[in-house]
Every structure is written in structure tokens, then in C-alpha cells.
Structure 1
């Protein structure tokens, strides 16, 4: 049996925040230190300000929402950060293997022209296929299992990893070949109840433009991503409310892969929503949020607020989003 990364099992670990004191906090502090995030502790096992700062810094480095609270997504990221390529055999399993070792494998394969798909750190069918193709070309046993021998061969050939992978090129070409209009474009809109009115008006406008629309209310990011993948939508748009004055638009980006469609759509949304809300946005962010990482299509998350402002400008906000999607379809990359 393979070990868990650094002994971490996140299924039953609690959400931790400043002021907590427990063995789980000790484990968190150990994991942060192992990941290279320095702590100036007042005491081990106490979630002090140093721990909160280290958690926030780790979250920022992993493309997560930064709040200094260690919840399920942060625990998962800590677990994945504990793996380096060669620590374990990698193969297509259920559930799929995840970790920084998988991401490095995808990056190295993609930089050599073997399309492992997005560099998302999830070992799925695309990664298995690219690995097997590499093994065939390298005279290795072509079993789609990444063993130490495969890692040695891969590192020898890809001593210098390209900053981008072939998956970026192929995704851009795929988008350019799609019809450049809203008609029949399959769009999933994810939203919380607080944004139901905006989402409702937006979806009505999209349907009038003859787009195919699915609405998902109050699902988790992972649940939303699963639904988007099952439905095979063209675009997944996640609308979130911010407590403060904010307009942050996020798209999927990690080392070796930036979603070309997501980045383009996010850029249009940021410009139009900022103008509609009447203040300069907090900018575009390439992130690895679950809704962006787990979807297999163009996906963008819009964090806008506060609620009172959105309510006051409900129709203009909906029109700005619909207009952004319409413009994006004419030039998706």
C-alpha cells in the first residue's frame, strides 16, 4: 500500500481558524513548515497569527481563495503538496490520483509534445494516454504506469521543462474552430441564492439569444464542476457574492497551463463589470479553485459585491455578463 502524503488524511480533519488549539493544529503547522512556509509560533498546537499568515501565504501560492482559514480545500492542497515525482507509482485509478507529482508528470509530458491535458494534478485518461505514448517512444514498457524507471527517462529527456504545454495550443485551436456566436452555445450558470435575481435575468437573456442554459443554485464548487462535466457544457460561469466592494474575476491557471478561453472571458468580464459597478476591479486572477480546476471547459468565477450594490444595479450587471459572453463567443481566445 502506498503511503499518504506526509501522513495526511484530510477526510475527517476539522476546519481550523485563529484561536483553535488541538492536535490537528499541530499537524497543520507541521505540514506548512514542510511545504516551506515559515512560522514564528507562540506555542505548538495553537492557531496563532503566525499560523494564520502561513495558511494565507500557502493559499495564495496554490491559487486558492485567501482567508487564512484551513478548510477542506486547503487540507487537500497540503496533501497534494506532499508528493514529488518519483515518490510513488502513478496510474489511472478510481478515485484518481492527485498531487504535485501528477502535475509535474503532466507538465513534463506536455512540454515534450505528449498531450496529457491540463496541468491540473489529476491523473486521468488523458494523462494515462500521454504517458503510454511517451513510453512507446522511449522504448519503455508501455503500460501507462509511471514507475521510477519512467521518471528517470522522463527527467533525462526533459531536463529543461518548457513553460507551456501542448494542451494550451490544442485548447486554443479547439475554441477557434467552434461557431463564434451565442446561438446553441451551452452555458452553465452557477450561483448562490443571494444572486438568484441576477442569474435569473442573465439566463433569460441568454435563452432569448438561443443559447442552451443550465442553472445550478447553491451547489459546492466540486458538485458544480461535476455537473458541468457531465453535461459537457461549453462554458461554466460561477457567480459569487462578496461581502465588500469587490470585482474579482478568476480563471484556471497553473505552472505550464493557462486556460486560453478562461483568461479571455475573464478579461472581458472584468472590464465590463467594473464599468457597470462603478469602481476599478480587484483584477484578473489565474487560480486553481475547484470550480476552475475540475471543469473540462472554459470556466470563470466572478466574485462581486457588496450585495446592496448588486441589487441596485441588478439589470445592468446581468446585461454586462450577457454582453461579455456574447463578445467572447466572437473571439474566444
Structure 2
């Protein structure tokens, strides 16, 4: 019965999300679209950091690569929007392989610095090719027309949740496969993983490339939502926000991506009512507090709470009965005495 529960629940969730298309106003629908595409980006980043143990502070660059690939193919080449989505993912995947090969030699803080430099350098690089990237002004991209009587926002939402749902199921299955176990073993102990025959270097490169491809896929979907790209949209804060979201949701958890995406979409809406700088401050505080007190994130905290709750009744049931009919000394036979 259990093997049918997960597909049934997944189908039910997808049906509920699809029904929202016709029952939510366009502004709220655009926010839900942002949540869905952010889930894709966070799933990619969590594969790298949470499951494989590689640190990245520059995934905003892959987000930008996917977004600019779609923007240039639509605006310059006149390609249909849907065709550009897999192409943007493949381009980001290819860049991930190129960068992932040298990244195999780097660990921890060194890898974080290299990816941080990428996040800082790419927006500046995009400004120096105005004929191709639009320079400082960026590129205005016509949004896709609705299909079958749907508005543009409804059509983009449906496309995004289909892609996000497929990626969510794919990543969940991947983490439970032999490849996922190889990622985790390479994260936990490289020497032991190598001794068991795990190709650590290849696993790290593939994980880095797959993470980059999914983040680029999210960037491509963002163009369908906003219809505009510019270098300033993909600055360092985007990379920091992505890291903050997976730390909050839970490193090494698939469900944590959804929690992080909701946080990353709605937190700025309320924080900016206090100050324009408030979102950045909140993210910094979130990273520090969760790393100190909740290193497993929200999902990890919920899992540990459920385990503790289930463990208490079982202990009560297995506790040995206490006999009150006689004292402990009564159970010890007296030594016989000879007359």
C-alpha cells in the first residue's frame, strides 16, 4: 500500500496546483510562479551543497546564464519560448561541466571563493557586450501569449509548475538512487567512498554540472515570468539569497527547497515595508541563527521532533514491569543451614 501512497499524494498536489490557475488573481499567480521556479533553483543548489558537500556562493551566475540564454534566443533569434527552456538548461549544464572539472581540486572555503568570484564577475562581463546582451540596460523579452483561452500569467504558471513538479520528482528519485548514495558517500568520507569503488571526482563533476543546469533552468523560467533581464538582476545578493533559503529549508532535504522558496519569495515583500535594506539583513541573520541553532533547517527540525515524539511511547511500552508484591530480598533464596 505504501508504494502507492507517494504517487497518489504527488498527483493530488499537482491537481491542486493546477486548479489554482483558474482561482487566483494574476498578481498572486505570478508570486506562485516565482515560488515554483525558485524551487527548481534550490533543488539544484541543494544537490551540490546538501547532498555532495561542495560549497557554492555563485549560483546566481548560472541563474543568469539560463536567463540570458532564453532572452537572447527569443529576442535575437525569434525562437519560441518553450524551445529555449531545455536549451538554457543544457547551456548551463555545459558551463557547469567546464567549471566543475577544476572545482574537483578545491574544497570548502577555496571553492566558495572561486564561485563567489564568478558571481561578482559575470554581471560585469555581461555589460561589456551590448550588441549581444543589451549592456547595462539589459534585454526586454516579449512574454509568451496564452494558449487555449489562458492569459499569459496563467500559461506561464502552468508551464512553470509542470517543469518544477517534474524536477522535484526527478531529484527526489535521484537522491534515493545509486547516484544519490554516491553523492552522499563522497560528501561524508571521500576515502571510504573511493575504497568502495565510488568515482568521487566524476560524481562531483556531474553533481556540479547538474546543479548548474537546474539553476539555469530556473533562470530561463524567470524570463517567461518577468519578460526582462539585466546584469543588475543577478548580482551577489541573488547567490546569497539562494544559500540562505536552502539553509533555512534544510540542507540535504528535497522538501526543504519548497520551504526555502516560499521564504525567498514572500519574505522580501514584508521586509521591504520596513526598509529597502531589510531583506539582506534578514538573510544574514537567518544564516547565522540557523547554522548555530538549527543546522538541519526546518525540515531537519521537524524530522527530529517527530522521531522524539515516536520514541517516547515505545519506551513506555517496553519498560520492564515492576513487582510490588515482594521486596528484592524476598526473591533471593535463603542459604540452607545444617543442624
TM-score, L = length of structure 2: 0.25
Higher helix share: 2
